[in-house]
Structures are given as structure tokens and as C-alpha cells.
Amino acid sequence: MKNEELIIILDFYGQYNQLIARRVRECNVYSEVVPYTTPLEKIKSMNPKGIIFTGGPASVYEQDAPMCDPKIFELGIPILGICYGMQLMSKVLGGNVKKGLKREYGETEVHLNTSSPLFSNLPNNNTCLMSHTDLVDSLPNDFEVIASTDNCPIAGMQNINKKFYGIQFHPEVNNTLNGTNIIRNFLYDICKCTGNWKMSSFVQDSVKNLKEKIGDKKVLCALSGGVDSSVAAVLLHKAVGKNLTCIFVDHGLLRKNEADEVETIFRNQFDINLIRVNAQERFLSKLAGKTEPEEKRKIIGEEFIRVFEEEAKKIGKVDFLVQGTIYPDVIESGLGKAAVIKSHHNVGGLPDYVDFEEIIEPLRDLFKDEVRKTGLELGIPEKLVFRQPFPGPGLAIRIIGDITEEKLEILKEADYIFREEIANANLDKTLNQYFAVLTNLKSVGVMGDGRTYDYTIALRAVTTTDFMTATWSKIPYEILEKVSSRIVNEVKHVNRVVYDITSKPPATIEWE
Ligand code: XMP
């Protein structure tokens, strides 16, 4: 199915490009991000209803500044230039761009001329995210100013006849109030889109494209039981059926019942070729006596890959390997300059020695909430689709110190009770992550007139949107009390429960 309504997002290497694509999708319009070097003929043949120029780090007056074919302005297609995109539009069409006296970064009050179709139904003053040094200081011919700030007299411009619009601020980020409305105005009022695209269209398009690409060839997928790899696997299965084989390495470090649930969903509900490898003993023996968090993480990551490779070899040559990479993973792995706090292993990381020709990442452009929507479209049960984040190394990094089978059992039971009570209290939709930790601490207690010397369970619950920072959740005392009393009564070898009241930073969400 070819989408009739396409918006091209011309990429000048801005930070927020996929966010623009996402906002366009939110308005039910299909978009594709293409590099600024895309030939004009190709752009023409894609027949877009409109083009958005993204921001970018360069200065338009630098010698090697990214530049698209200037004839793009002769296609008769509406164009919205954002930040660098506006400056480029200005330069090509005869305006001037210069370095501003002051760098303008952050949330800024922008005065909007609401008679512009771009700003219809918006307030006259709107908080917008500015992030620039350069600015347009004289307009191209036939343009007029439609937005300004104290430091930036031309923060928006338009040529209403040609349908060219430029804005210095970023409508795609949350810090810009009404940003999606600005994009919607561009799509609907200026480009005359009707909004015929839905998440279900993403599923249909992907299935069709994957079918064409893969044909009768063989595909392999590492299933972790998490949302991303599950959605990727079901999508692939819809496209190629039995030519897909999923390998599910059960390292024994998943939460109570989780491995069986994964198996039931994939084998029984979807009838997917599934190989489950029960490798708990293998992982536990590698982990025996290891106490250092980073060492534990590394052992699990490496062992996972070894097990996966061994199983893959039994299958023989495959043509494609599926990865559940999603857009935030792409950004995070691209940064690479920040200090490493923890080495995150997304179980399912790339094996070295599996014989395959190409990697397929069908969710690469999607954000987490869009992956969940796709999962629901595909009929994956809500319980799996809305599963809270779970670290690749699993419960191993929620048992402080060395790991034994006994400790794993204790933690699984305590965690299960905590999750059950959170669900009973209807808090499961508001808390973003909650789990139990088995501290390596034993303390003295008294039970049934006798002395005990047993483990302490810590409960952790946080509220967060990006998981980079998080606030500890103020769970009502009555619920904490119930969880505490159930855990000490129902789980052997636990005689004390504490609640973690540290936010991130300074703590992290997981304890290791
Ligand atoms: P921290 O503990 O760093 O965790 O505050 C932030 C978020 O990342 C999850 N996490 C992981 N996810 N592999 C993952 O896929 C990992 O190795 C890993 N370690 C932590 C953690 O659960 C939280 O949601």
C-alpha cells in the first residue's frame, strides 16, 4: 500500500529529526526522513504533499554547510524550515543570516502573528524552545515576519503565496507549547493533508515491505520477552510466517512465571517457530561467587551471546537477523560521550559469529509508545505490551552480591507479591517501574517467639518519563504495610522489608 499523503523530512543532521517524524505521525500523516543530499528527481518522484527542513548544527554561511538542491523551491510544494532549515531557506531565497549577539537557548516567550495560517488557533504569546546562535536578520523578497522574540526579531517568516514558512524555534519538542498544533496547521491547512495514516498503516506497510525484501529467505530473532523484541518478532512473523525462527534464551533471571508466559504467547497464540533454551544452570554456574555488578553484567551479556550462537549454529545459515532496536536506542548509542555508569546489556545484543547476511530493524524509527501501539495492533496481549522496563541482566542485578538459586527464588516470590499488591491498588499504570531487591544484608528478627537471622528485601518504585532521572514514588503507607507483611509471612528467609526513598540522581533506579 503506497501512502498517498507523504511529508518528506529533509534531514540536516538536527537533534530532533525523528521527533519531527513522530509529531507528523501523531497528526495521522505519513512521513519519511531522507538525507538533505537526496536528489531533486527522487524527491519529485516521491510526490510529497509538503517538505520539512530540519534543524542542524552547522551555520549556513560556512563553506561546507549542508545545502539541498536550490531548485527544491521551484517544485511548487509547501516547505516548512525549522531552525537551520529556516536559515537555509532565507539564504537560498535572498535573505541574510548572521551570528546573533547572544546565543538563545531554552524556553523563550515568542510573539506569534496568529493571522498566519501556521499559527491559527494559537495564543499571541507562546513558550517555545529556542536553540540557536545564528539568526535571519533580513528577509528574502516577498516574505514577512510572523514571529519574534526580544533577541530574535525574525523568529518566524512566511511567503504565503508560495507556501514557504520558516520558524527559528522547535515545534517538535515538548518544551514548545502547542508545537504539535503548529505542525498540524502546516500539514492540514497549508499542505492540505487529510490525515489518512494510522499505526495500523505502519503494520500493513511494514509487513508488505518485509515480505518483498525477505521473500522465501530465512530469518532469525533473539527473543528476550521484552516489549521491543516481541513486537519485532510478531511483525516479522506476520510477514514471513514459518521462515522466522525465534530463539528465546531463558537465563533463569526473569521474573516469576515470565519465561512460561513468553513461551505460551509465542508458541500457542502466534504459532511462531520458537526454540526455548533453558540455560539457568549455565548462567548460575558462570555467576557463582561473582559479586561485582559490572562483572555480573558482562558475564550475562557474553553468556547470552554464546548460548544464542550455539543454537543459531544448529539452524545453519540464515539470511536475516532481526533486532528490536527502537529509536531511543539509536540516539543513546549514538551519543557515546557520557560517562558509563552501567554497561547496559540489551539481551539480544549482536552476536559475532552467527552466519547471517543482513540485520533487519523494523522498529528503528519508532518511539516506545509507538512500539506499544504497534504491539496492540498486532494482537500481542496488553500484559506484555505494557510490561514495565526490565533490565537485560534481569534479577541478577537485583540481588546484591553473589547469586544463588535460593536467593533467586526468594527475590522472585517477594517481587511477585509487590507487583500483585501494586496491581490490586491500581497503581500499576501510574508507577513507571517498581520491583523488589534482595539486599545482601541479614539482620535479626523475631518470629513465633524465636530468633531469626534472615534477609532484608528492599522495595523500589519510581516515577519517571525518560528513566534518565526519576523520583521515588510516594506509595501510600497502607499498601507498603500490606506488601511488607505479606512478604515476611509468605517468603521464607525474609524477616525485614525496607522502602528505598532515594531519587535518581543521586541513586540509580536499579541497585546495581
Ligand atoms: P538505572 O539503574 O541506570 O536504570 O537508573 C535506568 C533504566 O534502565 C534499565 N536498565 C537496563 N535496561 N539493560 C536494559 O535493557 C540493562 O542492562 C539495564 N540496566 C538498567 C533500568 O531497569 C531502568 O529502567
Facing residues of 276 across strands?
Answer: 248
Amino acid present at 322: V
Residues 309 and 429 in one domain: no
Residue nearest to atom 6 of ligand 1 (CA): 467
Q: Letter for the amino acid at 275?
A: I
Q: Which atom of ligand 1 is nearest to the CA of 433?
A: 24
**Nearest CA owner, ligand 1 atom 20:** 391
Is 511 inside a domain boundary?
Answer: no
Say whether both 169 and 290 belong to one domain. no
Q: For ligand 1, atom 21, which residue shows the shortest CA distance?
A: 391
Q: What is the CATH number of the domain that holds 138?
A: 3.40.50.880
Residue 462 Cα to ligand 1 midpoint, Å, equals: 13
132 is catalytic: no
List the CATH number of the domain containing 456: 3.30.300.10
What pLDDT is attached to residue 335? 39
Closest atom of ligand 1 relative to the 504 alpha carbon? 5
Domain interval for residue 428:
405-499
Distance, in Å, from the CA atom of 29 to the CA atom of 196, rounded to the nearest integer, reads 6
95 phi and psi angles, rounded to 5 deg: -85, -170
Instruction: Name the residue with the closest Cα to ligand 1, atom 12.
Output: 391
Is 495 within 8 Å of 445 (Cβ atoms)? yes
Q: Which grid cell sits at 125?
A: 504569546
Among residues 27, 152, 170, 258, the one annotated as catalytic is: 170
- 510 within domain boundaries: no
Q: What is the pLDDT of residue 344?
A: 59
Instruction: Provide the strand spans (E) within 139-182.
Output: 144-148, 156-159, 164-167
Considering the domain architecture, whether residues 20 and 115 belong to the same structural domain is answered as yes
130 and 152 fall within a common domain: yes
375 assigned to some structural domain: yes
Pairing, β 79-82 against β 50-53: parallel
* Helical (H) or strand (E) element with 172: none
Looking at 183-316, which runs of residues are DSSP E strands? 219-223, 244-250, 273-278
Report CA(309)–ligand 1 centroid distance (Å).
24
Domain boundary among 190, 213, 243: 190
* pLDDT given at position 489: 97
Ligand 1 midpoint to CA 175 (Å): 25
Catalytic residue among 27, 68, 83, 193: 83
Within 8 A by CB and 6+ apart from 345, the residues are 297, 298, 300, 301, 304, 391, 392, 393
Residues with CB under 6 A from ligand 1: 341-342, 344-346, 389, 391-393, 433, 467, 504, 508-510
Whole-number pLDDT of residue 342: 59
Position 35 in a domain? yes
Helices 405-424 and 477-490, axial angle in degrees (round to 10): 150
Q: Integer distance in angstroms from the first to the last C-alpha of the chain? A: 47
59 CA distance to ligand 1 middle (Å): 37
Is residue 429 a part of any domain in this protein?
Answer: yes
Q: Are strands 433-447 and 144-148 parallel, antiparallel or unpaired?
A: unpaired
Catalytic one of 27, 68, 104, 172: 172
Q: What pairing do the DSSP bridges indicate for beta strands 244-250 and 219-223?
A: parallel
User: Quick one: 50 and 135 in the same domain?
Assistant: yes
Q: What's the CA dihedral at 292, 295, 296, 301 to 10 degrees?
A: 160
Per-residue model confidence as pLDDT tens for the chain (512 residues): 455 799 999 999 988 888 999 999 999 999 989 999 999 999 999 999 999 999 999 999 999 999 999 999 999 999 999 999 999 999 999 999 999 878 888 899 999 999 999 999 999 999 999 988 899 999 999 999 999 999 899 999 999 999 999 999 999 998 899 999 999 999 999 999 999 999 899 999 999 999 999 999 999 999 988 899 999 999 999 999 999 999 999 999 999 999 999 999 999 999 999 999 999 999 999 999 999 999 999 999 999 988 998 998 898 889 999 989 888 777 655 433 345 665 655 544 455 566 778 889 999 989 888 999 999 999 999 989 999 999 989 999 999 999 999 999 999 999 999 999 999 999 998 999 999 999 999 999 999 889 999 999 999 999 988 788 899 999 999 999 999 999 999 999 999 999 999 999 999 999 99
- The position carrying cell 521474573 is 255
Are residues 261 and 236 part of one domain? yes
Q: Which residue has the cell 503507607?
A: 477
How much distance in Å is there from the Cα of 390 to the middle of ligand 1? Answer: 7
* Ligand 1 atom closest to the CA of 226, numbered from 1: 15
> Ligand 1 pocket check: which of 302, 467, 503 to mutate, most ligand atoms within 8 Å of Cβ?
467
Other CB atoms within a 10 A radius of the CB of residue 132 amount to 22
**With 0-12 CB in 10 A as exposed, 13-18 as middle and 19+ as buried, what is 125?**
exposed
Q: Closest Cα to atom 17, ligand 1: which residue? A: 344
Q: Do both 146 and 73 map to the same domain? A: yes
Task: Choose the final residue of a domain: 142, 167, 190.
Answer: 190
Ligand 1 centroid – CA 237 distance (Å): 28
170 classed as catalytic = yes
Q: Which atom of ligand 1 is nearest to the CA of 344?
A: 17
Q: Is 461 a domain residue?
A: yes
* CA 474 to ligand 1 centroid distance, Å: 21
| pLDDT value of residue 345 | 52
Distance between CA 147 and CA 131 in Å, rounded?
Answer: 15
Name the residue of 254, 326, 342 to mutate for ligand 1: max ligand atoms within 8 A of Cβ. Answer: 342
Q: How far is the centre of ligand 1, averaged over its atoms, from the C-alpha of 261 (Å)?
A: 22
Q: Judge if 211 and 260 occupy the same domain.
A: yes
For 202, 203, 358, 512, the CA distances from 320, given in Å and listed in that order, are 21, 19, 5, 34
CATH number of the domain encompassing residue 294: 3.40.50.620
Residues ≥6 apart with Cβ < 8 Å to 206: 235, 239, 362
One domain, residues 45 and 17: yes
pLDDT computed for residue 357 by the predictor: 83
Tell me: do 475 and 348 sit in the same domain: no
Say whether the peptide bond before residue 505 is cis (omega within 30 degrees of 0).
Answer: yes
Per the CB < 8 A criterion, the answer to whether 364 and 330 are in contact is yes
The CA–CA distances, whole Å, from 509 to 397, 484, 504, 506 equal 11, 20, 6, 10
Q: What DSSP designation does 215 have?
A: T
CA 397 to ligand 1: nearest atom: 19
Whether 311 sits among the annotated catalytic residues: the reply is no
Question: Which residue type sits at 95?
Answer: G
According to the model, what pLDDT value does residue 435 have? 98
Pick the last residue of a domain from 324, 351, 385: 385
Question: Helix (H) and strand (E) counts for the chain?
Answer: 14, 18
Q: In angstroms, rounded to a whole number, what is the distance separating the alpha carbons of residues 119 and 114?
A: 5
* Distance separating alpha carbons of residues 195 and 184, to the nearest angstrom: 10
Name the domain count of the chain. Answer: 3
176 plus 311 within the same structural domain:
no
Q: Do 170 and 299 reside in the same domain of the chain?
A: no
Residue 26 lies in a domain: yes
Shortest-distance atom of ligand 1 to CA 393: 17
CA Rg, the chain, in Å? 27
Residue 370, C-beta contacts closer than 8 angstroms, at least 6 positions apart: 22, 25, 199, 202
Q: Residues 147, 112: contact at Cβ < 8 Å?
A: yes
Look at the alpha carbons of 274, 275, 279, 283 in this order and tell me if their dihedral is positive or negative. Answer: negative
Residue 8 CB partners (closer than 8 Å, separation 6+)? 31, 32, 34, 43, 46, 48, 50, 51, 52
Three-state DSSP class for 357? Answer: coil
Residue 441: C-alpha distances to residues 271, 431, 454, 458 (Å)? 45, 26, 8, 10
**Considering the domain boundaries, does residue 103 fall inside one?**
yes
This prediction has a pTM of: 0.82
Choose the residue to mutate in 323, 341, 344, 511 for probing ligand 1, maximizing ligand atoms within 8 Å of C-beta.
344
